[in-house]
Amino acid sequence: MKKLCVFGGSSPGHNPLFVQQAWRLGELCADAGWGVVYGGGGRGIMGAVADGCAARGGRVEGVIPHDMVKREWGHKGVHLHIVETMHERKQMMHDLCHALVALPGGIGTLDEICEALAWQKLEIHQKPVALLNTAGFYDGFIQMLETTVESGFYHPSDRSRLWVVDTPEQLLERLLGS
């Protein structure tokens, strides 16, 4: 089974579309026979993706550090891989998946997607990396990437490998066609 690694906020954000599209992405993954790998939380964008996938009978795997489980932040209804550190968490999420996507989120989500892009550039992996640009959430980040290209710090061919989609349907279309 192919698996999509989803990075996203542990909060829902202020725009209801963030959670709606996260839930929809989970549904579409399950319908397409793709599993979801994510950070293991039960709330926010993360929880919505997991719940959407599980609601359609899809496979959901969370990867969460032990300290977060002790704080009861882990999702109760999915299979959890419990690790010791955030570094182990990110490595396992990368190892378990076939593609990676960032949904709206905070600094942790930015850290995760930047690492996925850096590893792609360094050819540590050759998996698709995408942004689900819900309501233009990532417009500023995309502009920053363009600035890095224009300034000579990021090669245009590396930048062109980042998929930017506006809807979960567009993402699944790309995944199924890749």
CATH code for position 106: 3.40.50.450
Residue 178 has pLDDT above 80, yes or no: no
- Residue 34's domain comprises 3-177
Name which of 80, 75, 82, 78 is nearest 44 in CA terms: 75
Name which of 73, 38, 41, 82 is nearest 59 in CA terms: 38
Please tell me the total number of residues recorded for the chain in this structure: 178
Q: Would you place residue 70 in the very low, low, confident or very high pLDDT band (cuts 50, 70, 90)?
A: confident
Residue 6 has pLDDT above 80, yes or no: yes
Check residue 68 and give its pLDDT. 83
Q: Would you place residue 73 in the very low, low, confident or very high pLDDT band (cuts 50, 70, 90)?
A: confident
CB 77 within 8 A of CB 54: yes
* CA distances from residue 76 to 47, 67, 72, 152 in whole angstroms, order as listed: 10, 15, 9, 46
* Placement of tokens 């999420």 in the chain: 93
Share of the chain above pLDDT 90, in %: 90
Domain count, the chain: 1
Check residue 173 and give its pLDDT. 97
What is the H or E stretch that residue 81 is in?
Answer: strand 79-83
